[in-house]
Every structure is written in structure tokens, then in C-alpha cells.
């Protein structure tokens, strides 16, 4: 039995290739069916925007050429040999742990991937593609990753430029109940809105497409809308401004702040910049641009990397332990059979004694303990000795199979 992972990710494949090799849920079902039909006994497929990888329990004959051929045939896309990775056993488990930790992600230590790993396990389990071994490996990996994240507190090191800027502003401006304007409601704008909600700000939005603003207000009724052509007139009403448009032109100009008599904090998260250079020279304006925030973000990413790198030896050790655990002989069925047989013998013996001799409740309990102890010595304990012996796994499996047939008779 071998545990193998194969696939592609952002390290070797650009997005145009990753798009072609993406698994939808229906493709996950189809591909898993194909693998179960001949190449593997268990399957789990994980597909995100940055990776498409397949985990299998299979035999020793399954190699990289077979994995490459499977992907090329399934997606009708050739030339994947140099783009695919293929890892087995301990290295495959180590990869899963590192992946779930976010060490393989574009954003080091990100939390989203762990949720995606859990979702992939839930789907595979529900469809009965992953069974005893893959389920165990993934559950142990997920549990171990949670422990590291909790112990290291790695997620508390912020890496979003918007969040870094807001945390720095919070040192001087208590954001709760302050008036904040978000200009642009794309990905970065929406991220900023969610952060501002957490901070408790009073939020207004402005977007060149007013229809999108109204759609967003349906989701967040407390948000106010400022029309794009009214930004100049309204801008001095706010304590905090976040601009994150895709405009090729400056959105916020220096003359918007003539006769400014209050402190305003501005986060310019756009590239090219939304805020006129001269704005930072205005008294009472505190301007944060993306260069400054990105530098802090890069420093924090490096901190996360250092934190997670310190667990390298611990990860390697746990991967080896999990591999040994799944490759140990399975005595669960035999122990169940032995326990059932011992109970049957114990019940029969006690019943026989009670028919022949008058015994008190206390004496009956003592007799039951003596009988069970004796039975364990000649059955269960012997099985555990076989399991922990220096015999080869193949020989142990054979002995256990014979004993299962004997106890099941």
C-alpha cells in the first residue's frame, strides 16, 4: 500500500494552465470514479485557484508516468510531465501538512487553505471515495495543523495591506463610530469594508458604477452611498478614507481639502495611485500609500515564514509517525471478534457457576474479573504481542487473518 499525491500548483504552472486543469465538483466525481475503477482503492481531490492535486491509496506499481498520463487523458492536455509533482508516503504526508499550514501558499500562512482541505475531505468522505487510510491521514494532518497554528499564533501577524493600515491608524484614531468612506468596491475595497465593519466604523461607499453600490447596500443596509461625482463635495465629512479603484487617473486631488480644519486619515490602496501626491503635504492629512504598507506586509510575511519554518523538524517527525500508524497491522476487527468471544465464554462460565454454586453479588463481580483476566492472557494479550513483534508486516497480516477466521467460526 502506498499513499501518493500528484498534481500541479502555482509554482510550476501559470494561471492559463491551472484553469485548464481545474476540477469542478462533477469532474472530481468523474475523476475519482475513474481512479477507483482501476488505479486506486481510495481517492481525494483538492482543487483551488492555485492547485489541482490528487491523493490516492494505491499499490507499489503506481508511478509518476501513470499519474501524468491520468491527468493528460482526463483533461485532454499534453506535456505535463515537467509541470507535475509526484510524492509518496512520508513525503506526501509532509506535503499535506505544509499545504494545510499555508507554507505552500502564495500568501504564507494564510488560513483559507485549511478550510479548503477540510471541504475536500468532507466531499470525498460523503461520496465514499476516501476511506479508512485517507480519512485518518487527513484528520491527523488537520488536527496537527490546528495545534501548530494555535501554538505559534502565526495568523495574528497581519499581511493584508488594508488591515495593516487600519491597525496603524487605530493607534491614533479610535475607528469605532468614526465616519469612513471606501472608494471602489472591488476585491480590495470589499476587504476594507469587512475590516471596517469589524472595527465598528460608520461606512459610506462610492463607486463609479452606482448600480453596484445599490446592490452592496442590499447586503449591508447600514452602508451609505456617496455618488462618484459628489466625492469632492463630501470628502471633508469623513475621518477616514480608503481608496482602491482601478482608475488610471487620480481620484482624490489636493484642492479637495482646501481650508481643512480636522484630521483625516487616508489609505491609498490603488495602483496606479488614486491620491494626488501633494495631498500628503497638507497639514492634518495622514496618508498611507501602498508602497509603505506593502513593505510592512512583506516584513510580516517573512515573520510568518520564519515562524512556520521553525516547525520543520516537528512536521517531519509527525509525518513519519502518521505514515507508521497507517502502515501498522490492523487488529481492530480481530480484537472485536476476540472481545465478543471472550464475553460469550465469560457469560457462559458465570452462568454455569451460578447454576452449580450459590454466589453473592460481590463474589460474582470478583469471579467475572478473574475469568476476564484469564481470557485476556490467552487471547487479547497474545494478539497485542503479535502486533508489536519484530515479524514482518506480511507475516503479521497472515497470522491475524488466520486468527480472524478462527474466532469468527
Q: Which pLDDT belongs to residue 170?
A: 92
Reading the block at residue 202, the C-alpha cell is 460608520
Active site residue 342: no
pLDDT tens track for 182-237:
999 998 999 999 999 999 999 999 999 999 999 999 999 999 999 999 999 999 99
pLDDT at residue 97 above 90?
yes
260-266 — which CB contacts under 8 Å span 24+ positions?
Answer: 260/236, 260/284, 260/285, 262/236, 263/173, 263/239, 264/236, 264/238, 264/239, 264/240, 265/169, 265/172, 265/173, 265/239, 265/240, 265/241, 266/240, 266/241, 266/242
Whether 1 and 57 have beta carbons less than 8 Å apart is answered as yes
Confidence of residue 409 (pLDDT cuts 50, 70, 90): low
pLDDT at residue number 325: 81
Q: Which residue has the higher pLDDT, 309 or 393?
A: 309
Residues of the chain above pLDDT 70, percent: 98
Whether the pLDDT of residue 297 is over 80: the answer is: yes
> In this predicted structure, what is the pLDDT of residue 180?
98
* CATH tag, 2-156: 3.30.460.30
- Percent of the chain exceeding pLDDT 90 equals 64
Report the distance separating Cα 222 and Cα 52, nearest Å: 40
> Is the pLDDT confidence value at 119 over 90?
yes
- Tens-place pLDDT, residues 266-284: 999 998 899 998 999 999 9
pLDDT tens readout for residues 315-332: 999 999 898 888 766 667
C-alpha cell at 25: 465538483
**How far apart (Å, rounded) are the C-alpha atoms in residues 358 and 338?**
29
Q: Which of 71-80, 300-309, 383-392 has the lowest mean pLDDT?
A: 383-392
State the pLDDT at residue 102. Answer: 92
- How high is the pLDDT of residue 240? 97
pLDDT tens digits, one per residue of 236-246 = 999 999 999 98
Where exactly are the structural domains of the chain? 2-156, 161-294, 328-407
Instruction: Determine the pLDDT at residue 329.
Output: 62
From residue 68, give the alpha-carbon distance in Å to each of 76, 77, 78, 143, 177.
11, 10, 9, 31, 56
Question: Over the chain, what is the mean pLDDT?
Answer: 91
Determine the average pLDDT of the residues in 279-298.
Answer: 89
pLDDT at 179 over 90: yes
pLDDT value of residue 72: 97
Residue-wise pLDDT tens digits, 369-398: 888 878 877 776 777 777 777 777 777 778
Q: Determine the topology of domain 161-294 in CATH.
A: Rossmann fold (3.40.50)
One of 1, 12, 15, 49 is an active-site residue; which one?
A: 49
Amino acid at each position: 500500500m502506498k499513499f501518493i499525491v500528484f498534481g500541479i500548483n502555482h509554482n510550476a504552472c501559470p494561471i492559463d494552465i491551472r484553469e485548464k486543469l481545474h476540477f469542478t465538483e462533477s469532474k472530481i466525481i468523474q475523476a475519482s470514479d475513474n481512479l477507483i475503477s482501476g488505479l486506486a482503492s481510495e481517492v481525494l481531490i483538492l482543487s483551488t485557484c492555485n492547485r489541482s492535486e490528487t491523493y490516492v491509496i494505491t499499490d507499489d506499481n503506481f508511478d509518476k508516468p501513470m499519474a501524468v498520463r491520468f491527468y493528460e487523458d482526463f483533461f485532454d492536455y499534453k506535456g505535463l510531465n515537467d509541470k507535475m509533482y509526484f510524492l509518496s508516503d512520508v513525503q506526501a504526508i509532509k506535503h499535506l501538512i505544509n499545504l494545510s499550514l499555508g507554507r505552500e501558499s502564495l500568501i504564507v500562512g494564510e488560513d483559507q487553505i485549511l478550510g479548503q482541505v477540510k471541504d475536500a475531505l468532507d466531499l470525498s468522505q460523503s461520496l465514499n471515495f476516501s476511506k479508512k487510510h485517507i480519512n485518518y491521514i487527513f484528520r491527523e494532518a488537520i488536527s496537527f495543523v490546528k495545534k501548530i497554528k494555535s501554538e505559534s499564533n502565526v495568523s495574528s501577524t497581519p499581511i493584508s495591506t488594508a488591515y495593516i493600515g487600519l491597525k496603524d491608524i487605530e493607534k491614533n484614531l479610535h475607528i469605532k463610530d468614526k465616519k469612513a468612506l471606501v472608494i471602489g468596491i472591488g476585491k480590495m475595497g470589499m476587504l476594507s469594508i469587512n475590516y471596517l465593519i469589524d472595527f465598528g466604523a460608520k461606512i459610506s461607499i462610492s463607486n463609479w458604477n452606482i448600480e453596484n453600490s445599490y446592490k452592496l447596500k442590499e447586503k449591508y443596509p447600514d452602508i451609505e452611498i456617496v455618488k462618484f461625482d459628489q466625492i469632492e463635495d463630501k470628502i471633508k465629512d469623513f475621518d477616514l478614507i480608503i481608496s482602491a479603484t482601478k482608475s488610471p487617473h487620480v481620484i482624490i486631488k489636493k484642492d479637495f481639502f482646501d481650508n481643512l480644519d480636522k484630521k483625516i486619515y487616508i489609505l491609498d490602496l490603488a495602483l496606479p495611485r488614486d491620491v494626488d501626491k501633494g495631498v500628503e503635504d497638507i497639514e492634518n492629512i495622514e496618508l498611507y500609500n501602498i508602497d509603505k504598507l506593502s513593505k510592512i506586509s512583506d516584513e510580516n510575511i517573512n515573520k510568518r515564514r520564519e515562524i512556520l519554518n521553525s516547525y520543520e523538524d516537528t512536521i517531519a517527525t509527525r509525518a513519519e509517525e502518521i505514515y507508521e500508524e497507517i502502515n501498522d497491522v490492523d487488529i481492530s476487527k480481530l480484537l472485536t471478534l476476540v472481545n465478543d468471544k471472550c464475553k460469550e465464554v465469560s457469560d457462559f462460565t458465570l452462568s454455569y457457576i451460578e447454576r452449580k454454586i450459590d454466589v453473592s453479588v460481590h463474589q460474582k463481580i470478583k469471579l467475572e474479573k478473574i475469568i476476564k483476566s484469564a481470557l485476556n492472557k490467552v487471547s487479547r494479550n497474545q494478539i497485542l504481542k503479535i502486533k508489536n513483534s519484530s515479524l514482518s508486516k506480511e507475516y503479521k497480516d497472515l497470522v491475524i487473518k488466520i486468527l480472524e477466521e478462527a474466532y469468527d467460526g
